[in-house]
Structure 1
Amino acid sequence: MTKLRKTPIWQAIARALTAEIADKIYVPGDKLPTEAELADRFGVNRHTVRHAIKAMVDEKLVRTRRGAGAYVTASPTEYPIGKRVRFHQNILAGGQTPEKQVLQIEERPATPKEAARLDIPPKSPLVIYHGLSLADGNPIALFSSHFPGARLPGIVAALTEETGVTEALKRCGVDDYTRVSTRISARAATATQALHLHVDEGAPLVYTTSLNADADGKPIEYGMTWFAGDRVTLTIDGLA
């Protein structure tokens, strides 16, 4: 029989408070309830509450002042999913500084499933961009973007040299692209994902898959993204 993983109480408290910040119950500048009040609310001792608050401080969601309590400093990153999704624009619009780190740029033949997604023949050249997205220096998502190499000549150099996918695609002749489809589900963080995202193994991640196409409707990117569940609020914009 599989043994269920038990969520630490301090982690459950941190997630509950983070969700309330995301729901604007507490906004930047607000003071959180005292340790004693939170201990009463959650039925735990103050040490457990202190552990939860420290985790939120580490995530830069709150700050503490000795003798004054804990204050909200930021809300989870708002990330709209619409017909046109641009990482840098989304993060800047939320008042944060965007950054992407290249983990690996991989070249190999496409599997039959990958080929079907991108409407290319099996074993066609495939370029995969594995990376990490950050907002104000905090990791918020891991991603793997698949590109049809023959359809996008020069994509490897462009991804290596440019800071974003949009600029890289422009260098390959794609001036605009739109989202064709998006699927959203939940995943538990693996050990390596937890390492990159600075979360616990088994922590909840929001998993999305998406397909983007150029102005002629040809698929130019199939992406998979694992968002840190406590740090990002996904909003669905009109896709029509």
Structure 2
Amino acid sequence: MRDARTPIWQAIADALRSDLAEGRYLPGDRLPTEAALAERFGVNRHTVRHGIKALVDEGLVRTRRGAGAFVAAVPTDYPIGRRVRFHENLIAAGRLPEKRVLLLEERAATGGEARALEIAAGDPVCACHGLSLADAQPIAVFESLFPLASLLGITAALSQTSSVTEALAAVGVADYTRASTRLTAVRATATLALHLQVSEGDPLLRSSGVNVDAAGVPVEYGRTWFAGDRVTLTLEE
């Protein structure tokens, strides 16, 4: 007679799936270690690993080498249109926004940056590097560049606030809109993976865009690397 018993790994997957459904572990939470789960279910770690893989295949859990297994977060809707505002976008999506500035520096613009900002190569720019988070989970690494000649005091303004809107307002730019956006699929480098808490080589979505003032003059050239499984970019008119 055929053995109809449920495989142990499948029973483990079912139990963990129930834990997720009941809210025992929330999106972004780390699951117990394989050793802890092996002790909980009275099995070896290989069997636990098989059960977790089933949840990974379903998109419920993601694993990161050396860090463990995490509950997959529900992707955040992030509109990209003429008005791209980080805080407003995340609040509208029901998420708690946070920005962390990692580095603020003044340097010479590269050729590509200069073309985007419509300045000469080598002209001084303020470069703001940082991390964007939603509900305390990193979703993107960003680099924003501002022309120093036309935005006097922008570096000091950015040192006081993580809001680009507030910093630009402080130097006389009352409003700005997105003039262009380019989206490219890329792989996470070691440093991007470290900041975004993903594995090196994981898929990211890179957004490059130029914001202009009311007269159409570029005030910001930004590059953002989004964690591919945490953000759904939507294009708006």
**Partners of 2:101 and 2:162 within 8 A in 1:** no
**Correspondences of 1:140-151 after superposition (within 5 Å):** 140-151=139-150
User: What is the deviation of 1:111?
Assistant: 2.3
Mapping of residues 1-240 of structure 1, within 5 Å: 45-50=50-55, 53-55=60-62, 58-59=70-71, 61=73, 75-238=74-237
Q: Which amino acid aligns with 2:62?
A: A
In the superposition, the TM-score normalised over structure 2's length comes to 0.73
Cα deviation 1:103-157 (Å, max 9, x = unaligned): 1012112223322211112221111110100000000000111110111111111
TM norm structure 1: 0.72
- On the 8 A contact 1:59/1:138 being kept in 2, the answer is no
* Greater C-alpha radius of gyration: 2
Counterpart-to-counterpart distance in 2, 1:206 and 1:86: 18
Q: Contact (CA 8 Å) 2:178, 2:210: kept in 1 or not?
A: yes
Please tell me whether the aligned partners of residues 79 and 234 of structure 2 are also in contact (alpha carbons under 8 angstroms): yes
CA distance in 1, matches of 2:111, 2:139: 31
Percent of aligned pairs sharing the same letter? 53
Once residues 112 and 174 of structure 1 are traced to their aligned partners in structure 2, the CA distance between those partners, rounded to angstroms, is 25
The two structures, once aligned, show a CA RMSD in angstroms of: 2.2
CA distance in 1, matches of 2:125, 2:22: 44
Task: Tell me the distance in 2 between the aligned counterparts of 1:45 and 1:120.
Answer: 56
- In the TM superposition, what is the alpha-carbon distance from 1:199 to its structure 2 partner? 0.4
Deviation at 1:28, TM superposition (A): 11
Per the TM alignment, residue 50 of structure 1 is displaced from its structure 2 partner at its CA by: 4.8
How many residues align structurally?
A: 185
Query: Aligned partners of 2:107, 2:162: CA distance in 1, in Å?
Result: 23
